[in-house]
Structure 1
Amino acid sequence: MLLTKPSLTGQRFLRYVRVSSMLDSAKLAAGFHPSSPGQVELAKLLLTDFAEFADEVGTDYKVEWTPGGVLIIRITATPGFEQAPRLGFSAHLDSYPNGSPMVEPLMHLYKGGDLALPRCGTFVPTKVLEGREGQLIFTSSGDSVLAADCKAGMTAIMEAMATILGDNVSHGPITLIFFPDEEEGVLNVSDFSPELVGSLDVLYTADAGIPEEVDTDCYSGRSATVTITGTEAKNYEGQQVVVTVIGNDAHPGPGGERIVPAHLIAAELALYLDDECPSNRGTHYGYVLVQKIEGGAGKATMTLVANQSSEDRAPDILDLIRTQAIRMQDMHPGCKTEIDVYGSVKSENDAEDVTGIVPAAFIASEFMLALTANSGTPWKKGKDDSYQYPRLIQNVDGKTVVICIPRAYEDDRSLELVEELRACAQNISDTYDGCTLDVKVEHTYTSIAKAIAANRWCVELLHQAAAKCGFELKEKRVPGGTDVAMLDRIYDWMPGPNIGAGCMEAHALFECCSDRDLDLATRWYVQIIMLATQAQFQRP
C-alpha cells in the first residue's frame, strides 16, 4: 500500500531499480561484457534521461560507448569555468547476484522496530534503521537485493545533473561514467583509456553507504580462481538427492559479520556424509557420492547419489542425510536446509567401481573449510582486519571452480594471504592421489589512500559541500574495495574518494535506503559541483 509519495529523486530511483541488471557470473566467466542484457537497457535509459533534460537547455556534451559496454558522457564547462577541476562521477550498472534478478521495490513509512518484508521471511533489523522513524524507506520484497548498490548512486548523480543543467548553474568540465560488471571485483580496465582517465582530476565513485560518510582508504585486493580436478565416479547407482542450503549473503567487508555462508555449510555437510558413508568404500549405510556443490553465501545446492546398503536391517541412508541436514541448521543459526529426493540414477559406464573415487566437489569442500579454518574470515576478521573468503563455488565447463578473495589493507599482507591460499591448495593436492588444485591469482585493486593523500583538495571539496548541506562528513577506511581502487592498479595517481548516496546493508536481501538520504546525496553532489568553480579549487 502506498503510504506517502516519494521525492522526485525517490521516483527516479524506483524507475532504475525496476530494471533488472543483475550480474551474471557464468556469462562473465565466459567472457561476456556486459554479462546481462539489463545492464545495457539501464545504460540506455540513463542516456535517454540525460538527453531529455540536457537537450532541453541546450547543453553541450558528447556521448561515447566502449566495446565493453561503458557509457561515457562528457559535459563541456560553462564558458569562463574551463579551469575548474575536471570532475568525474561514476556508478556501476550491475546489481549484486543474490536472490531473484527481478526487483519489486516497496515503500514503507518507518515507525520503528524490525521492518518485515513479505517474502522469504526477510526483515530489516531495527538497528539498521535506528533513528529513521518517520522516514520513507525503500526495500525489495524480500526475495532479492534492492539494487541500491549502485542505483542509489546513479540516481543521485542523474538528479544532481538535472538540477545543475536545468537551473543553469555554472560548472566546470564534468564526465559521467556508467560501467558494467563491477560486483565481481574485476573492472575491465581496457574500457578506461589513458585519454579518458587523463581528462579527469578526480573520479568520485558513488558506491559507498550513507551520504554522511566517504571512503578514503580501502583494502588491497586479489582474486584467486582455484580449478579443482578429482577422480570422478563412472560406475554408480542410487537415488538422486539435492540438498539446498539457504544462508545469508552480505558485503564481506562492511557486512561480513552478518554472513551465514550457505556454500560452506553445504561443504561441511558433504565432509560429514563422506566420513560416515564414503564413496570409496561400502559401509553399513551404503555410500554417498557428492557430485557437485554450487552457489555462494545466500544459497547453495549439493547434488549427490545415495546408495542404500542391501544388508539386513541396514539404517536408512536418506534418514541419515535428513538428520545431518537438520543438524546443520542447529549448528549455524540463520541457515535453512531443504532436501529433494528424485528417482534412481545409474551411470552408463560399468568399467570402474566407485572404490578409490575422490570427487572434485569433496576436494573443494575440504579446501574451502581448511582455508577459512586457518585464517580470518569476513565474519571473524583476522590479523589487521584481513580475511580469506571462498566467495563462490561453481561448475564451469564440467570443472569445479572456487573463487576466493584474500583481502587486507596492506599489500604485503595481501600477498601473505595469497601464499597461505597456495599452501592450503598444495596441501590438499598432496593428500589425495590424482587430484589437482590449479590456482590463478589476479591483482584486482589497490588502496586508494596514497592518491587521495596527494590530492587532499578533492576531499576538502567534499567537506565544504557537506557543510553547505548542514552535515559533518566522516572519512572512513572501508574493509573492501572501491571502483577507483581497481583503476589505481594502472593509474596509481588518480584520486577517487568513494561517496555515499544512501545504500544500507549492500548485497543483503534486506538491503535498503531512505528517500531522505537520496535527496540529501543529490543536494550534496550539487554543492560539490558548484563549489568546484571557486578560485581555491582552480587548476593551475
Structure 2
Amino acid sequence: MTQVLLERFLRYVSFDTQSDPSQCSIPSTDKQFRFSELLFTELNQLGFQQVELTEKGYLTAVVPATQPDLPCIGFIAHVDTAPDFSGANVKPQIIEDYQGQVIALGDTEVLCPKQFPSLKRYIGQSLITTDGTTLLGADNKAGIAEIITALHTLIEHPEIPHGEVKLCFTPDEEIGRGADHFDVEGFGADWAYTIDGGEIGELEYENFNAASAVVTVFGNNCHPGTAYEVMINAQTIACQFHAQMPLNDTPEHSKDYQGFFHLIGMEGVTEQAKLTYIIRDFDRDQFERRKEQLVEQVESFNRQLTGARIEINIQDSYFNMKEQVTPHMHIIDIAKQAMENQGVEPLIKPIRGGTDGARLSFMGLPCPNLFTGGHNFHGKHEYICIESMQKAVDVILEVVKLTATKNCKS
C-alpha cells in the first residue's frame, strides 16, 4: 500500500492549486477546480459511489455501508495550497533512510536539524522534501492521498464491517472559505475528521477563537508648506495607536494556550491610514475581552483627537470547536484508540490556528483534526515522512473499524 500512497501523493503535488484571497470567485482559482476534476475521475475509476463535484468545487464521494445500521462518518481534506509561497512546478525529492544529515534543497537552501529539530525523530525513515523553490503541498494533498488510499481499501475489502463512509475535498481552506458552501445536511455524516494536521500522532479538537479588526484613522491633508496647525497626519496617529498595543502580547511571544494581537498589515497616506489586526485566543471570555480592549483604545484616542477620528470594524472569523466537540467525546476516544492500536502515541494539543473542522463543528458536524505526517507547512522547508503517511492511512482505517465495534451515534 505504501508505494501506491507515495505515487498518488507525488502525482497530486505536481498540480498547482494555490488559492487566491484577492479573488471573489468560488473556488478562488480555476486550477483548484481542475485538480478536483482529476480527483472526480479517479474516484469513479476506483469504485467510489455517488461521486459529485459541485460548481463551487466541493467534491464528495461515498463508500457504501456493509452494515447500514452503523454510524455514518466522514473524512475531509482541502485541495488548495497556501498563497504564502509558490505552489507551482513542485519538484519533490525523496530522502531514503535519513540519517540526521543536513538535506540540500536545490543549490541554495538546506533543511537543517539545528534549525528544525523535528528532523531527528525520523532517523532511519524516508522523507519527502521540496527543492527549495516551492512549498511541497503536503498541506493538504497528503490528507487527500491518505483518505483515498484508506477508503479504497474498504472498497477492496467488503468483509470489513462499517457504516456508510463519506469523503469531501473542499476548496479555499487556506484563505478561510473552505466551509462557506459545505452542505452539512447533504453530507449526512454523524461526525467527521479533517485529515489536515501535522506530525504523526496529532489529534486536535481545540482551536483559536479568531477575529479580524480593521482600525482606520482619518486625518487631514494639505500642502506641507501651509500645514501649521492644519495638517493631521493619519499615519502618525496610526503609529501612536499601535505603539500603545501590548508589545509582548503578540505571536512571537506566545505559545501553547496563549492568545495574541497580530498586526498583519498597515497602509496609508496623510489623509487616511489603516491598521489590520487579527485577534486570537482559546478562551472565549478572554477573546471577547480582547475585542473590547481594541474598541476601548479607539474610544480613548477619539476623546483626545481634534480634527481627526478613528473607526474600527471587527469581524469574527471562527470559534473554538472544543465547545462543539466535547459533548461528543466518543469521537475523540475513537481516534485516540485508533492511534494506540496502530502503535502511534496520540499527541493531543490545541491548534494555534483554525481548520475547516472548526467552522463545520459550529455548523452541526463535529469535526476534530487528525495528523497527515507533515512539517513546516506553507514554505520551502516543508517536508513529510513517508512512514507517517502510511500510519495516517492505518489510523483512518482503524477509526472506521472502531466506529463499527462501538456502534455509537453522535
Deviation string, structure 1 residues 132-163 (Cα, Å, up to 9, x no partner): 12322122222332222222211111111222
Which residue in the other structure is 1:510 paired with? 381
Give 1:148's aligned amino acid.
A
Distance 1:402 1:119 in 2: 39
User: Which runs of structure 2 are paired with 1:129-144 in the superposition (5 Å)?
Assistant: 129-144=119-134
Q: Secondary structure at the match of 1:7?
A: helix
Q: Secondary structure at the match of 2:380?
A: coil
Q: 5+ unaligned residues in a row in structure 1: which ranges?
A: 1-5, 236-279, 282-350
Which residue in the other structure is 1:47 paired with? 40
Q: Secondary structure at the match of 2:261?
A: coil
Q: 2:85 aligns with which of 99, 103, 111?
A: 99
Which residue in the other structure is 2:104 paired with? 116
2:179–2:356 contact (8 Å) kept in structure 1? no
Q: Secondary structure at the match of 1:447?
A: coil
Q: 2:251 aligns with which of 357, 367, 378?
A: 378
Q: Secondary structure at the match of 2:123?
A: coil
Which residue in the other structure is 2:60 paired with? 72
Q: 2:169 aligns with which of 178, 182, 190?
A: 178
Pair 1:394–1:32, CA change in 2 (3 A): farther
1:222 pairs with 2:196: no
RMSD: 3.2
Identity %: 25
2:251–2:261 contact (8 Å) kept in structure 1? yes
Q: Secondary structure at the match of 1:451?
A: helix
1:148 pairs with 2:138: yes
Q: 2:280 aligns with which of 404, 407, 410?
A: 407
1:387 offset after TM fit, Å?
0.6
1:187 offset after TM fit, Å?
4.3
Which residue in the other structure is 1:519 paired with? 390
1:518 offset after TM fit, Å?
0.9
1:36 pairs with 2:29: yes
Distance 1:369 1:183 in 2: 30
Which residue in the other structure is 2:345 paired with? 472
Give 2:3's aligned amino acid.
S
2:63–2:155 contact (8 Å) kept in structure 1? no
1:92 offset after TM fit, Å?
1.6
Q: Secondary structure at the match of 2:46?
A: helix
Q: Find the structure with the greater CA-based Rg.
A: 1
Distance 2:251 2:380 in 1: 18
More displaced stretch, 435-444 vs 130-139: 435-444
1:428 offset after TM fit, Å?
6.0
Q: Secondary structure at the match of 2:120?
A: coil
Give 1:107's aligned amino acid.
I
User: Which runs of structure 2 are paired with 1:332-343 in the superposition (5 Å)?
Assistant: none
Distance 2:340 2:85 in 1: 39
2:201–2:347 contact (8 Å) kept in structure 1? yes
Pair 1:161–1:229, CA change in 2 (3 A): farther
Distance 1:15 1:177 in 2: 19
Q: Secondary structure at the match of 2:374?
A: coil
Q: Secondary structure at the match of 1:443?
A: strand
Give 1:41's aligned amino acid.
R
Distance 1:477 1:111 in 2: 31
Q: 2:334 aligns with which of 461, 480, 485?
A: 461
User: Which runs of structure 2 are paired with 1:158-237 in the superposition (5 Å)?
Assistant: 158-168=148-158, 169-189=160-180, 191-196=181-186, 199-227=188-216
1:68–1:188 contact (8 Å) kept in structure 2? no
Q: Secondary structure at the match of 2:77?
A: strand
1:187–1:483 contact (8 Å) kept in structure 2? yes
1:408 offset after TM fit, Å?
0.8
1:204 offset after TM fit, Å?
0.3
Pair 1:520–1:228, CA change in 2 (3 A): farther
1:62–1:75 contact (8 Å) kept in structure 2? no
User: Which runs of structure 2 are paired with 1:522-537 in the superposition (5 Å)?
Assistant: 522-534=393-405, 536-537=406-407
Which residue in the other structure is 1:87 paired with? 73
More displaced stretch, 99-108 vs 155-164: 99-108
1:37 offset after TM fit, Å?
1.9
Give 2:87's aligned amino acid.
P
TM-score normalised by the chain length of structure 1: 0.66
Give 1:487's aligned amino acid.
L
Distance 1:434 1:14 in 2: 60
Pair 1:116–1:427, CA change in 2 (3 A): farther
Pair 1:363–1:94, CA change in 2 (3 A): farther
Which residue in the other structure is 1:450 paired with? 323
1:481 pairs with 2:354: yes
